Structure 1
Amino acid sequence: MTFLTRTGKPLPKSVVDSASKVGRDAMSRREFIALASAFGATSATAYAMLGLPQPAHAQGTPSEGGTVRMQMLVKALKDPRTYDWSEMGNVSRGWLEYLAIWENDGSFTPALLESWEINDDATEYTLNVRQGVTWNDGSAFTAADVARNIERWCDKSLEGNSMAGRFATLIDEASGTAIEGAIEVVDDHTVKLSLPRPDITLIPGMADYPAAIVPEGFDPDNMIENAVGTGPYLPETFDVGVKAVLVRNTDHTWWGTEVYGGPYIDRLEYIDYGTDPAAYVAAAEAEEIDATYSIEGEFIDIFDTLDGFVQNTVASGSTIVIRPNQLAEVDGKRPYEDKRVRQALAMAVDNNLLLELGYAGRGIVAENHHVGPMHPEYAELPPRTVDPAAAKALMDEAGMGDFEHELVSIDDAWRKDTTDAVAAQLRDAGINVKRSILPGSTFWNDWTKYPFSSTNWNARPLGVQIWALAYRSGEAWNEFGWSNADFDALLERALATADVDERREIMKEGEALVQGEGVTIQPYWRSLYNHTKEGLLGAGHHIGFEYHPARMAWSA
């Protein structure tokens, strides 16, 4: 049987063959669907390749109008290329849209792109730009806008531009900009990308929250006051740490209405109650909110008892890392440059306990290399050895037996609890630890620079994406300070390999390298939860913490 892309062309043989190798669990199926969809298959085709019917979405009938109030931290906005929190994208998504959307089933829904084609070895991408889209200032949205944004993503000179990590294949290392001729505007509705080597991750990268499409002349300093975009909403008010309000733009004809339906609600209010979940409970009891952004631990059970709220959950690749920074200096020295120190920290910690104590067991244990069973290329490694006595001996051998490690975390519940559990186990092993707990307003200013700290990470469809973002040498989000030529070479091979089995063998070698080098303690994968008022549609928890105002509605 021949399986086709959205444009009617056959899918690459490597993708078709990989369908027969997918595991029975839902997470493996979802990640295969991500791979097939990234190569241009519809969600229905991807399910058919697995011999499964496409699941029906059991929702009510949306009504027009109304207001939705969601609890969410309201963070300062900046150039989307440098967004480092999903909350930023959730606000600007009202008017700044994306080329594609990552769905909870793993598929990618075309948005400002109508479709795409990728050749068999993933060295040529043809992006078909949706016709009939306009910016809200009345000008036409064209292929030139898409090309210009991809060029912006490839600018390595902009500090904090994590999109450069997602599009590294298109970047000329000498100039730090896009390779000349690699991005071609074929006509008003077609962009062609010619890659010097294969890369299977570009479509997933286009769907990530820092990939918002901005207009020509975009100025991040006045993006609220001059909110030019293609989306159906506009910012009415924006007050960091307090509230962000989006209102329906009645003067703009949105392209998505004819394609997907919506927008439905008139108004979306993101209300900031800080990081204490007890405040979210109080807000729900006082009928001040209709939805939570996300909720953890014992507060999941508390929300389950509240009248009028329903639980939404999704299994995910979201996680936390407790990492030493190999480049950070403490008193003029780099304590975590020594591999033995890093190995000792990991050896002293039982990840099973971190899942239990830090996240109430609501997830699965991970293996300290940031690739998991939800990724199609995951390769299971032998069980880790947890040996506190050996950890202390190794720390002593490195000359760090009397060193006091300062372990830093944010002050909210599950991240604080997980980091506390790390510190307790290190102390039980005889390793000196000082805990420092900071409010978010302080912590996130320098999150990549602390010598020893914890950070939460969102899910990504493919394991190679995470490695390219955070573990490759020199990337903006490489908070580990790790640079390893052997790992970088393995990653390049993995990025260029579409066949899942072949990529898995490469990944197995990379996983062992990350784990063996003690790069991080990455203890578990989280299941995600939020709660919404009965009758609220389109506001359930997204696998990547995304909320789409155009999809929200009150049931009729």
Structure 2
Amino acid sequence: MSIINGGRLDRRGFLKTTAAGAIAATLPMGGAFAAPKRGGHLRVGKAHGQTTDTLNPGTWENGFTIGMAMAIHGRLTEVKADGTLAPEVAESWEATPDAKVWTFKVREGMTFHSGKSVTAEDVAASINFHRGEDSTSAAGPLVAPVENIRVDGQNVVFELSGGNADFPFILSDYHLTIHPAKDDSIDWKSADGCGSYTLKSHNFGVSCTMERNPNHWRDDVAFFDSIEMLALVDQNARTTALVSGDVDVVDRIDLKTVGLLARNKSININSVAGTQHFTFAMSANQAPFDDNNVRMALKYAINREELVEKILFGYGSVGNDVPIGQNQAFYNTELEQKTYDPDKAKWHLKEAGMDSLSVSLSAADAAFTGAVDAGVLYQNSAKAAGIDLKVVREPNDGYWSDVWMKKPFSAVYWSGRPVQDQMFATAYSCGASWNDGFWCNEKFDNIMVEARAELDPAKRKDMYWEMQEIVSNQGAIIIPMFANYVFATSEKVKTSDALASNWDMDGERWAERWSFA
């Protein structure tokens, strides 16, 4: 069986892989990278973080908690900077030919920060934490196909309801962290992880501090002695902190002033095109958004090109109401691109029995930088379609707990996911915890299950293309633009030679991949 295909792990061929093969695939021709310098205290300003954040892995949903989780915890697998998959807590894995039964060998010699050995029982308990009818975890839909988990010595065996060629990718999700087993569940409250940093203090909504784990199994990661991460949701505060030298790194910089910031010779601007997309979510379970004609009217009433120009300032591309990036496998290149068309919007309103429409749109910079401005631009373009769009500026703090999935029409950002099944299962499958459109489509759900088990790439392509057509023309999410990940670093910080595009800030693995120059 072929494992490596053109330097990348082939999804059809990686049913069996090992640490040596996967890690070798990420190294440049001619040898390994020069080892970065160790030492120093890194200060990071994040445009995320709220007082309602917790250490519970099922609740993590913003850049602050994701960055923390990536540093202090381990997962079975890791998505590398080039998009390939590598072992992490798992040393290797293999599957039956139908991809229904997966066996992961837990790496020997790994310990939690407390000194306790990481065992197969810990892994099983950690994944089981997100399973079950009573689970409220955002990762619940990802592990829903798992029918049984059993421990066989150092191995953890996953028995699925159907084949899943992407299952190892699914286990890289930031929610699916490995914790010590405790009382038929896991001990997540102690933050006892097996990652490259230990959590020393946390005050959610404000800051957290971390120190390098001296007993981590890898010696080619975690170059900072310590890290302080600050929740700086306010754009001006975040930028000022970087310019004044109070922090070394900030994410989500103000694209209005990125040109001015770039003139500062002590600051480096990083822009990475990836899976991040900005959306407006409509609650399809309540009027007027329960009518697809209303949803389509709102999709044709938005000027996507204008948003890319005036909100992203060119650091992105036009979206087509599907959460799949143009550089991802199985992207539907033949799906008709929606454009601003007030007449089509009016036609759909008439089909819904309406001459006009009045709705409120909730937005805040916590959703994405410029979300309120984007709402105002949307408001202006919608007028020509007979739509009165009232933009409500919501507070930044508590936006994700009090506004998102609470208000019927709201601005949202998504970092995307490495594979289509993961994105669709997380946010578009009926009943998923993060299905922020409260949308259900039986045909879509059935195809999703079939595509997950299909190992023939040509057949999977046809299925994923159809799913994208359904989401674009029947779904409850408006996706007007894909935004580059744009962040800034002090000249003192040395980033990776190749930056990952699966999440912001180098796949949120900055804590272990970067160093001081």
**TM-score in same-fold range (> 0.5):** yes
Cα distance in structure 2, aligned partners of 1:130 and 1:554: 30
Q: Could you tell me how far 1:202 is from its partner in structure 2? A: 2.2
2:283·2:439 contact (CA, 8 Å) conserved in 1? yes
Q: Could you tell me how far 1:480 is from its partner in structure 2? A: 0.7
Letter in structure 1 aligned against 2:323: H
Determine the structure 2 residue equivalent to 1:211: 176
Shift in alpha-carbon separation, 1:552–1:54, aligned structure 2, 3 A: closer
Bigger mean CA deviation after superposition, 464-473 or 115-124: 115-124
Letter in structure 2 aligned against 1:169: P
Determine the structure 1 residue equivalent to 2:345: 391
Cα distance in structure 2, aligned partners of 1:401 and 1:47: 60
Shift in alpha-carbon separation, 1:221–1:504, aligned structure 2, 3 A: closer
Cα distance in structure 1, aligned partners of 2:479 and 2:161: 33
More helix, by proportion: 1
1:166·1:465 contact (CA, 8 Å) conserved in 2? yes
Shift in alpha-carbon separation, 1:488–1:55, aligned structure 2, 3 A: farther
Q: Could you tell me how far 1:146 is from its partner in structure 2? A: 1.0
Letter in structure 1 aligned against 2:233: G
Determine the structure 2 residue equivalent to 1:89: 66
Determine the structure 1 residue equivalent to 2:359: 405
2:196·2:222 contact (CA, 8 Å) conserved in 1? yes
Determine the structure 2 residue equivalent to 1:10: none
Pairing 1:238–2:202 present: yes
Determine the structure 1 residue equivalent to 2:92: 115
2:198·2:212 contact (CA, 8 Å) conserved in 1? yes
Q: Could you tell me how far 1:56 is from its partner in structure 2? A: 8.2
Q: Could you tell me how far 1:89 is from its partner in structure 2? A: 2.5
Determine the structure 2 residue equivalent to 1:201: 166
Determine the structure 1 residue equivalent to 2:143: 167
2:270·2:488 contact (CA, 8 Å) conserved in 1? yes
Q: Could you tell me how far 1:41 is from its partner in structure 2? A: 5.2
Q: Percent identity?
A: 25
* Structure 1 residue runs without a partner (length 5+): 6-15, 20-28, 171-178, 329-333
How do residues 501-512 of structure 1 correspond to structure 2 at under 5 angstroms?
501-512=458-469
Pairing 1:377–2:330 present: yes
What are the superposed Cα offsets for residues 521-542 of structure 1, whole Å, 9 maximum, x if unpaired? 1122222122222242347864
Q: Could you tell me how far 1:479 is from its partner in structure 2? A: 0.8
The equivalent position to 1:268 in structure 2, one of 206, 227, 231, is: 227
Shift in alpha-carbon separation, 1:312–1:364, aligned structure 2, 3 A: same
Cα distance in structure 2, aligned partners of 1:469 and 1:482: 12
2:2·2:14 contact (CA, 8 Å) conserved in 1? no
* Structure 2 residue runs without a partner (length 5+): none
Shift in alpha-carbon separation, 1:47–1:345, aligned structure 2, 3 A: farther
Cα distance in structure 1, aligned partners of 2:32 and 2:392: 46
Paired residues in the alignment total: 505
SS of the equivalent of 2:201 reads strand
2:77·2:90 contact (CA, 8 Å) conserved in 1? yes
Shift in alpha-carbon separation, 1:439–1:541, aligned structure 2, 3 A: farther
SS of the equivalent of 1:372 reads coil
1:326·1:480 contact (CA, 8 Å) conserved in 2? yes
Determine the structure 1 residue equivalent to 2:307: 354
SS of the equivalent of 2:199 reads strand
Letter in structure 2 aligned against 1:269: E
Pairing 1:430–2:386 present: yes
Shift in alpha-carbon separation, 1:366–1:500, aligned structure 2, 3 A: farther
Bigger mean CA deviation after superposition, 316-325 or 209-218: 209-218
Shift in alpha-carbon separation, 1:550–1:386, aligned structure 2, 3 A: closer
Bigger mean CA deviation after superposition, 147-156 or 484-493: 147-156
Q: Could you tell me how far 1:34 is from its partner in structure 2? A: 7.1
SS of the equivalent of 2:476 reads coil
TM-score, L = length of structure 2: 0.89
CA RMSD of aligned residues (A): 3.0
Determine the structure 1 residue equivalent to 2:112: 135
Q: Could you tell me how far 1:354 is from its partner in structure 2? A: 2.4
TM-score, L = length of structure 1: 0.83
How do residues 91-490 of structure 1 correspond to structure 2 at under 5 angstroms?
91-159=68-136, 161-170=137-146, 179=147, 182-187=148-153, 189-217=154-182, 226-249=190-213, 253-257=215-219, 261-276=220-235, 278-328=236-286, 334-380=287-333, 381-384=335-338, 386-411=340-365, 413-446=369-402, 447-490=404-447
Bigger mean CA deviation after superposition, 391-400 or 340-349: 391-400
Q: Could you tell me how far 1:102 is from its partner in structure 2? A: 1.5
Cα distance in structure 2, aligned partners of 1:219 and 1:263: 32
Cα distance in structure 2, aligned partners of 1:401 and 1:230: 59
